[in-house]
Amino acid sequence: MVESMPSRAQNNMSDRLPPQDLEAEQATLGSMLMESGAVSRAMSIVDEEDFYREAHRRIFSAIRAVDEAGDPVDVVTVGAELRRREQLSAVGGGEYLTRLIGEVPTTAHVVRYATIVHEKAMLRRLITAGGEIQALAYDNPEDMTTALDGAEQRIFELAQQRSTKDYEEIGPLVDATFRQLEEASKTGDVVTGLPTGLKKFDFMTSGLQAGDLVIIAGRPSMGKTSLMVNNVAMNVALTPRRRDNETNYGVGIFSLEMSASQLAEMLLCGLARVNSWRLRGGHVRGDDWDRIGRAAGRLANCNILIEDTPGISIMELRSKARRMKSQHDIDLICVDYLQLVSTSSGRYDNRHQEIGEVARAMKAMARELSVPVVLGSQLSRNVERREDKRPILSDLAESGSIEAEADLVCFLFRKSYYEQKEPAETGQNGGDRGHDEVDDDTIDIAELIIAKHRNGPVGPVKLGFKKQARIFENIEVLREAEVYG
């Protein structure tokens, strides 16, 4: 009894008439036959397969052929094209073409007619997709994650088809760009994208631009996560949106190495400029608690979303990013880090190909969601073998595709990282050094090296790194505070 229920439901659905609107189809085609301007407007919205009735598909195809040939579209030319195809009688003859014109109240509403046709077609495709997803589930796949990803991808593909405009006219683009540049000139604001708060970096890049893939690379423990989370993500989340100046920008963070609670602690200590070791061990000093309280209040009102699933696949990551964008209107995505993202496909011969595919998917995601994607990446060990350990583009680990896909590639370099590492490797200065370091609030000088910039200058940006608060500071701020000489 229970086993027969799905098949009975399927039969009931198959007996129902699929969504369609023949009057809207007739009005769309009639408008195209009446007015030349209606042809281009309708074709920017509907395609041949959007029409439910076969005769209407054939008429639309004939209209498009006449238009592409440069001939005027009317009853005579379209009828001749259908006759050439030996389809005129099948669509109802010339009488039906004339009747289509009579079904049009006004050609001014052709966009609305075409939109109705497209929406009904989308509903039919949704029914088809539902059947495909149902069949996928009945096949009882072994890999549940792949099945869910495939189902969601199918629905998302349909959702993407709702946007029928596939080009941009140059006029409005130039006008919008000119107004933006004019406004920046008046205000003196050189940051047209999302501000990171790192002044020289923002000056060189004009901020993080929508659709860009930004790589922040470095050796382990160089400070990549600190820079991405405590500087880039936090500063963006604390900045009011330009469009309304009432809400702050939203940020989505994918952490494949640290847990959400660890990131929350990092953000709290970074904003409060409090030594994380002292906080964790209950050794707070002076006004630490006051600063932590104020920081907690500011962060609580931020639109920051954290996803900490370890070993997440690129398909799942993109799926969750889409939901973040649609449900929470995020403006920036940070991923920590590239080499921990998997493809789950098993179809690559080597790790280089897999990493390349992840990098391409990240760039596609930035374009698709129209947000900057900041992606952490490891560097290869080659940098350790050179006398000058400042990274170069060829040091990007495992794939040249990372450099190819990125719009901006930045390297983190701290000379003290290697100066402290060498004594430890040779067994010098051991003993109590670990305790000294965790209780040390000194500033470490760092360089953020812009090695590739698709739309601007390259070069180093000097920063100060507060190791125990895990946050980078502008050198100018440190000089004013007299903590940097």
8 A C-beta contact, residue 214 and residue 205: no
**Helix (H), strand (E) counts: the chain:** 22, 9
Beta-bridge partners for 208: 194
Positions of E strands within 95-192: none
- Classified as helix, coil or strand, 191 is coil
Dist CA 133 CA 96 (whole Å): 39
8 is written with which tokens? 């009975």
The label of the residue with tokens 């932590």 reads 292
Sign (positive or negative) of CA dihedral 128, 129, 134, 136: positive
Q: Please choose, from the candidates 11, 6, 3, 53, the residue with its C-alpha nearest in 3D space to the C-alpha of residue 29.
A: 53
Q: Which of 257, 265, 403, 447 is catalytic?
A: 257
Per DSSP, the residues of 207-254 read SBPTT-EEEEEESTTSSHHHIIIIIIIHHHHTSBPTTTSSSBPEEEEE
- Classified as helix, coil or strand, 413 is strand
Query: Which residue type occupies 103?
Result: E
Beta-bridge partners for 408: 214, 453
Burial class (CB in 10 A: 0-12, 13-18, 19+), 257: middle
What are the angstrom distances between the C-alpha of 465 and each of 143, 198, 230, 368, 444?
44, 12, 11, 34, 5
Report the first-to-last Cα separation within the chain, whole angstroms. Answer: 82
Dist CA 252 CA 241 (whole Å): 16
Please count the CA atoms within 13 angstroms of the CA of 297 that sit on its side-chain side.
6
Q: Output Rg (C-alpha) for the chain, integer angstroms.
A: 29
Dist CA 260 CA 256 (whole Å): 10
405 is catalytic: no
Which residues have a Cβ under 8 Å from the Cβ of 126 and sit 6 or more positions away? 155, 158
List residues with catalytic annotation: 257
